[in-house]
Structure 1
């Protein structure tokens, strides 16, 4: 297989239990933060998506341009993908009329296409292979699709399927436990399980974020979006400080 590794050390963090805790906090922040911009501030989905797309481009550009792994820069880029993913999915689902089901199917196709093209181009979609600008570009494009898909999938499950926020959290939390069990007790591809878990953490965060800030009459806690977002930022900073942040090392 062809490889495009710049060094033995990657530009993304090693996947540990702490990684997943921070990822879930980031995806929840993406929901509350995106909704705060588009709804609480009244900017709407289109304007909010344009603003957050610029933040995403700047953060990812800095991440790709960095010569080594920087935890804060990496997680800023993750938050940027999940916030723009929130408003972009809402724009497609609600403003453009594609709907949750149609949006989920379209985004799943884009996600799978991104993974296939990445694999055929560089020969690996494993996290430890993300050590060159080309690999990072594929990585962040794939993440962008996965974050947007997760928003649409979470809304579809909680709203259209009528499961509500707590029901959807149980569904996606249960699926993540199944993936974890497969990791520990089967020989299934670790790379495939990683991407499956990565996708599933996004709808979990989406419905958790909605649960925090949606009205009580709709099944939420009616917390302030800005306040919830501030608490989640603080939680992420604490976790980043406490959880070891090592770059993924090339295993090949």
Structure 2
């Protein structure tokens, strides 16, 4: 996957792309992103069971704030810093959705459209302010703030949507995972076959990765009674953390997800290209 820019404002300058605070959208990006969604789901569930839920949320909030502060403090994309922030967004985003359901008794059928509206408001505000939603324009503090607000909202929305299909609609975790895997492929096909707007395709896929990865992680971790493999949320979280660390280490060494200053921006938006490696 090479990268994209907004049609209305011409190509993203190679130097700006190289200074971006987010990675290039490659196949490694999507794999790592899906893994973080699964880890966030099982880690949140594990912490909520071994700790008082309020303490777990507090720890998650502090860790999220620290990881985002570190991310904002660096001048450009650094693999381990960026993906640590994504992991903490995943954990805390899961907690936020679960608090509404478990703590406040709000049904997933209500929280899912609520987080949809929240996400829409953030995207509208981002576009109104910056005139683009391209992730390859993240080289100012304000755009970075919009980006992470959007990421947080997608994780909360994806959590609620995944639990709604698995629990409220009684599809089960495995069937939900299969359904969201199919939905994840939709923007790719639409992009290749029908020239779907690349930025829209990217964010659609980004939202779907949350229930996609989380549903399969839940399926591996929950008990047989709940339709899972009963591996336990703790062991699943540790296993996913190890795999994520391997991918992030690989990216940090090879820099396959970092744009070079000599890269030339393509002629049309290329936010979503899972068939290309770099």
TM superposition score category, shorter chain reference: over 0.9
Q: Which residue of 1 aligns with 2:28?
A: 18
Change (3 A) 1:250 1:33: farther
Query: Do the aligned residues in 2 keep the contact of 1:213 with 1:225 (CA within 8 Å)?
Result: yes
Query: Do the aligned residues in 2 keep the contact of 1:128 with 1:250 (CA within 8 Å)?
Result: no
Aligned residues: 249
Distance 1:66 1:143 in 2: 19
Q: Which residue of 1 aligns with 2:248?
A: 240
TM-score, scaled relative to structure 1: 0.93
Larger relative CO (CA 8 A, sep 6+): 1 or 2?
2
TM-score, scaled relative to structure 2: 0.84
Q: Which residue of 1 aligns with 2:107?
A: 99
Query: Is structure 2 residue 125 aligned with structure 1 residue 117?
Result: yes
Distance 2:78 2:264 in 1: 17
Quote how far apart the aligned CAs of 1:130 are: 0.7
Mapping of residues 52-131 of structure 1, within 5 Å: 52-131=60-139
Q: Which residue of 2 aligns with 1:48?
A: 56
Q: Which residue of 2 aligns with 1:163?
A: 171
Per-residue deviation, residues 18-59 of structure 1 (Å, max 9, x unmatched): 1100000000000011111112x1322x33222211111111
Give RMSD over aligned pairs: 2.0
Q: Which runs of 5+ in 2 are unaligned?
A: 1-7, 267-278
Mapping of residues 139-158 of structure 1, within 5 Å: 139-158=147-166
